[in-house]
Structure 1
């Protein structure tokens, strides 16, 4: 059974300076399948954030094509595509416009002319999906970083897009806030509510995705499952990325003779297997 492609990118090229020797995005092709979590990773300047903006119709490519939900991106169709793709940005404080959590989640619905009765239902539904129903009447600036990003996600969910793009959405959060957001995204994805694209330089975050695309110098450098991509090892380090600590440690332990079965992408998985091995000694 073939899986539905929500996004298809073919031979896309874009330059901020039209006479630049090296384009920001250089002949990039890939697809996004309905229901998956795709992580796009790369160091600063690799082109990953520019790529996110093309998928949302904020940037029109110079060459090649982008299709989202069957619609080909042009200047005329950009607004149609934005109804299908919601974005959560790096700094949650820059996204808030309402005086309360409820008002902020309702903002996008008001802009789209959603009737009040429907708006109330959709705001309540979206807030429950991110487990923030106890904070509806609080002022957003009183929330923690992780809570703010969960409210931002609720605002996107309320508009009911097919795809959510997280553009470095966890990079300013502490470890607890980062985990809150990523677990929320995973649950929403697993429940079939959204397809997720996360733009990040953090391979620990990318390890939670179903598939990874590595960008380098505006080109697609590698693509595959997290385990396949992490096996590139030193090649990733050479282009400015750090392998997850748990993966590095599991490789070191295997080389030292410890009989680990997995190439662990999370610390929890590594700890569990080490504990199992210890109990057998």
Structure 2
């Protein structure tokens, strides 16, 4: 992992005059090139934090630095040049009548010259495997395809960071898999630092590091393996453990000699297949 690209120091945020803060004294960092998942149940503060990182909200107190720029009313637009965001409902994100027009929208707003715009549209749609759909109308696409187009629109602007704010929660399993694989590929190619905001621990298990939010505070932080060692503590704060992890646990309790509690279906299937070959 590279050096720190986002630093959050003792951030507190209040909505209007509410007595209790949505975020309270939260500190964290994001390393360049990593995939950080921020998880928590509804109301945990994770989406509020995402909006602060993108400059949609300004903290009530504390400091946020993105690519060395301290977030303030004066620097919001400078921060947003470095951070792209994909939201929960893909249908709410489209502004163009075709995929090409939609990907072009952010480029036009940034005054990108036409020749470069054409090259970026072609490159971005190829990266998310949607280059064959440039003339298609977005509302005719599947949910997973829509989110991949939304991601193309973000990466065409060439930010350093992409935030996925529950970007897979409204998708079917195939669409969710498409989006996660797309983001994983972009991250591994070194094109983007990824921050995934989610309540889905199975999705979070794909990340390099996880931060768990609860009641507006940072509850835990670590690698996926370290976080899932908390086991029932995660359930107590309203999170559902991934099915492969639960099944691994139950199989071990039943006497099946599985070496560890797996975070992904692939890992569990591979070990069960290895055991079958040994029998």
- TM-score, normalization: structure 2? 0.98
What's 1:13 paired with?
Answer: 12
Cα offset, 1:148, TM superposition: 0.2
RMSD: 0.9
Matched, 1:200 2:189: no
Q: Residues of 1 paired with 2:200 and 2:177: CA distance?
A: 13
What's 1:156 paired with?
Answer: 154
Cα offset, 1:252, TM superposition: 1.8
Retained in 2: the 8 A contact 1:227–1:263? no
Select 1:185's aligned residue among 176, 183, 186. Answer: 183
Structure 1 stretches of 4+ with a deviation exceeding 4 A read none
Matched, 1:3 2:5: no
Give runs of aligned pairs for residues 26-65 of structure 1, distance below 5 A. Answer: 26-65=24-63
What's 2:214 paired with?
Answer: 216
The SS at the match of 1:265 is coil
What's 1:277 paired with?
Answer: 275
What's 2:246 paired with?
Answer: 248
1:152-189 deviation per Cα after TM superposition (whole angstroms, max 9, x unaligned) = 00000000000000000000000000000000000000
Q: Residues of 2 paired with 1:124 and 1:164: CA distance?
A: 19
What's 1:122 paired with?
Answer: 120
Cα offset, 1:249, TM superposition: 1.1
Select 2:74's aligned residue among 73, 76, 88. Answer: 76
Q: Which runs of 5+ in 2 are unaligned?
A: none
Q: Residues of 2 paired with 1:233 and 1:130: CA distance?
A: 34
1:68-92 deviation per Cα after TM superposition (whole angstroms, max 9, x unaligned) = 0000000000100000000000000
What's 2:169 paired with?
Answer: 171
Q: Residues of 2 paired with 1:118 and 1:263: CA distance?
A: 48
Cα offset, 1:262, TM superposition: 2.9
Matched, 1:143 2:135: no
Q: Residues of 2 paired with 1:179 and 1:243: CA distance?
A: 18
Cα offset, 1:258, TM superposition: 2.0
Retained in 2: the 8 A contact 1:146–1:181? yes
The SS at the match of 1:110 is helix
Give runs of aligned pairs for residues 71-110 of structure 1, distance below 5 A. Answer: 71-110=69-108
Q: Which runs of 5+ in 1 are unaligned?
A: none
- TM-score, normalization: structure 1? 0.98
Q: How many residues align?
A: 279
Retained in 1: the 8 A contact 2:2–2:33? no
Q: Residues of 1 paired with 2:255 and 2:188: CA distance?
A: 36
Retained in 2: the 8 A contact 1:35–1:196? yes
